[in-house]
Amino acid sequence: MPASAHPHRSLGAPSAGRLSSGMGQAGGHAGAGGHPGGHSGGQGGHPGDMTAMTKGCLAGQAVCFVSHTGEVFPCGYLPLSSGNVKKIPFPQIWRTSKIFGDLRDDSKLEGKCGLCEYKKVCMGCRARSYGTTRNYLAEEPNCGFIPLRIRGKTLEAQPVA
Ligand code: SF4
């Protein structure tokens, strides 16, 4: 979806310099091949000053969305406002929001995501969990993977491929 057609604006992980430059300067979807808050440099990626952060769910960790009314959401698909930039400075919302804090703490993940050996690089889709259960920390409902701990195995016991 072109940025102009999206109801929200995507923000990459803020740094002091980028925050002070205003939200209009923040990186969004970078066109073909671009990834929010992800790859730096290169065609379709972000400018070289972006810190690379690529994982499954980036909501509240490397991206967020600000609505046209100023509401700040972890992502465009997770309709839980963490504040309004008309009332609270964006850096304060970004740094102190409980929702954003929860999304940055994989120890709070519940169900099989909380037990999963891949949770640090995946975290499931927090918006999908919320959409299904109204709990953004619930296990990802569309994942068919069964973590080793649920299978009663350990990482150490796995043969090297
Ligand atoms: S259980 Fe699935 S969705 Fe959840 S962290 Fe593991 S791989 Fe990701």
CB of 119 closer than 6 angstroms to any ligand 1 atom:
yes
Q: Measure the CA dihedral 78/68/46/101, to 10°.
A: -40
Who has greater pLDDT, 43 or 50? 50
Report the atom number in ligand 1 closest to the C-alpha of 117.
Answer: 6
Going from the Cα of 114 to the center of ligand 1, the distance in angstroms, rounded, reads: 8
pLDDT in tens, 78-94: 999 999 999 999 999 99
pLDDT in tens, 106-129: 999 999 999 999 999 999 999 999
CB of 143 closer than 6 angstroms to any ligand 1 atom:
yes
19's CB contacts (< 8 A; 6+ apart) are 90, 91, 94
